[in-house]
Amino acid sequence: MGRFLLYRLLRTIPATWAIVSFVFLLSRALPTNDLLGQALSDDSVGNRGLTAAEREAALLRIQERLGLTGPVFYFSCTHSTTGAVWQWHGSDNQYHKWLKKAVKGDLGQSYRSGQPVTAVLGEALRFTLPLTTSAALLATVLSVVLALWLVCGGPAFLLSMLYAIDALPLFVVALGLLLLLANPDILPLFPAYGMGQQTADNAPWHVQISTYLYYSTLPLASLVLVKLPSLVVQLYDALRHELGANYATTARAKGLSAYQVATRHALRNALLPVIALLTDLLPALVAGAVVVEVIFALPGMGRLMAEAAATHDFPVLVGGVLLMAIMRLIGLVVADTLYFLTDPRIRLQA
């Protein structure tokens, strides 16, 4: 199993590196004049009048501090009257310096706050990671329960409701829950935005958990409701297919009920096509967190990425993309592990 998972893991690393490298190079291709001007105005020297030469020198110092000086990549191409001119820069370029630091866990400093990117991302993950992980687990468990209920004679209107919810975009679901369950004129059961007054770290654990659940119920419900229909429908169709197989007919002939046949025999085989959906579940929830955290004003990863894109805070943006790529990598490893545990054919091939 270890060799199988290691092989799968090594296959995804080049794709992760390519995505992050593309985002880094794209960030360096975008104009940064407005950003440098804002950094200069926030600097202490920006509070007094500067001559043109002093301003250029100050901008150069800010560029050096932000790592924006020197060639961007290992080589560059310029056009002249004689044609294209290629130039090799070696390791003295912005990408090589960034990659060398990134391998050591140093993703640079935020343009906006000046804090290390790892610290900024870590602070945002305190809210996003529990939210997305809880949504993934809850959506998976509920999909199994609802699919078994439907295939064992559950109400047909439930399937129609799932199809209807599946057609709604995330922001519509989030706003609908907000208007229904956080509206003082209808049902003011939950807060409309934010995380409220943060509880102290030394507060009892049940107080911290209850406070977190109170403020994260609507965001969590939004993410679960968006991903749940596709999981339930896929598993329901797979269960129906497996219940029509010969081994299921034989089990029913031996006197087993529909629920026993589904849980003891059909469910394990029906889970195989659903595992492929779990690969995209965690990255999709992280992407959905961008919408949810903006709507509910949560200080998480999604809101951080949206603000970083709006303010051209490229180090935070590149670090966030790297983190999402790692989550995608984790999703692939989890899916491959589940495949390995549920499908004997893969164990034999490994």
Query: Which residues does residue 83 pair with via DSSP β-bridges, in sequence order?
Result: 80
Residue (of 289, 332, 255, 345) closest to 10 by Cα position: 332
Instruction: Answer yes or no: are the C-beta atoms of 300 and 131 closer than 8 Å.
Output: yes
Instruction: Answer yes or no: are the C-beta atoms of 136 and 279 closer than 8 Å.
Output: no
pLDDT at 35 (0 to 100): 58
Kindly report, residue by residue over 67-116, the tens digit of the pLDDT.
677 788 888 877 777 777 788 888 888 888 888 888 888 888 888 887 88
Burial label, 293 (beta-carbon count in 10 A; 0-12, 13-18, 19+):
buried
Bigger pLDDT: 292 vs 184: 292
pLDDT at 47 (0 to 100): 47
Segment 158-174 mean pLDDT: 89
pLDDT at 207 (0 to 100): 72
Band (pLDDT 50/70/90 cuts) for residue 55 is: low
Query: Which residues does residue 75 pair with via DSSP β-bridges, in sequence order?
Result: 88
Question: What SS3 class is residue 30?
Answer: coil
Kindly report, residue by residue over 127-147, the tens digit of the pLDDT.
888 888 888 889 989 999 999
CA 31 to chain centroid: 27
Band (pLDDT 50/70/90 cuts) for residue 197 is: low
Segment 38-45 mean pLDDT: 53
Domain count, the chain: 1
Q: What is the CATH number of the domain that holds 219?
A: 1.10.3720.10
Cα separation, 339 vs 337, whole angstroms: 5
Q: What is the pTM of this model?
A: 0.76
pLDDT at 50 (0 to 100): 61
Segment 26-34 mean pLDDT: 67
* Cβ atoms within 10 Å, residue 166: 15
pLDDT at 299 (0 to 100): 82
Instruction: Flag whether pLDDT at 48 surpasses 70.
Output: no
Instruction: Answer yes or no: are the C-beta atoms of 241 and 273 closer than 8 Å.
Output: no
Instruction: Answer yes or no: are the C-beta atoms of 275 and 339 closer than 8 Å.
Output: yes
Instruction: Flag whether pLDDT at 343 surpasses 70.
Output: no
Beta strand residue intervals within 152-226, DSSP E: none
Cα separation, 146 vs 233, whole angstroms: 9
pLDDT at 346 (0 to 100): 59
Bigger pLDDT: 71 vs 328: 71
202 within some domain: yes
pLDDT at 38 (0 to 100): 56
Instruction: Flag whether pLDDT at 344 surpasses 70.
Output: no
pLDDT at 224 (0 to 100): 92
274 within some domain: yes
Bigger pLDDT: 338 vs 220: 220
131 within some domain: yes
Cα separation, 321 vs 330, whole angstroms: 14
Bigger pLDDT: 207 vs 258: 258
50 within some domain: no
212 within some domain: yes
pLDDT at 46 (0 to 100): 47
319 within some domain: yes
Query: Mind giving me the DSSP string for 65-127?
Result: HHT--S-SSSEEEEEETTEEEEEE-TT-SHHHHHHHHHHTT---B-TTT-SBHHHHHHHHHHH
Q: Which domain covers residue 299, as residue numbers?
A: 117-349
Percentage above 70 pLDDT, the chain: 84
Across 16-20, 112-116, 207-211, 221-225, least confident range: 207-211
Instruction: Flag whether pLDDT at 340 surpasses 60.
Output: yes
Instruction: Answer yes or no: are the C-beta atoms of 329 and 16 closer than 8 Å.
Output: yes
Residue 185's H or E segment, with its range, is: none
Looking at this protein, which amino acid is placed at residue 94?
Q
335 within some domain: yes
pLDDT at 92 (0 to 100): 82
Burial 22-55 (b: 16+ CB within 10 A, else e): ebbeebbeeebeebbebbbeeeeeeeeeeeeeee
Residue keyed to tokens 């050591």? 104
Instruction: Answer yes or no: are the C-beta atoms of 162 and 228 closer than 8 Å.
Output: yes
pLDDT at 285 (0 to 100): 77
9 within some domain: no
Instruction: Flag whether pLDDT at 184 surpasses 60.
Output: yes
Instruction: Flag whether pLDDT at 63 surpasses 90.
Output: no
Cα separation, 222 vs 226, whole angstroms: 6
Show contacts of 164-170: CB within 8 Å, 24+ apart: 165/225, 165/226, 165/228, 165/229, 166/229, 166/230, 166/233, 168/226, 170/222, 170/223, 170/226, 170/288, 170/291, 170/292
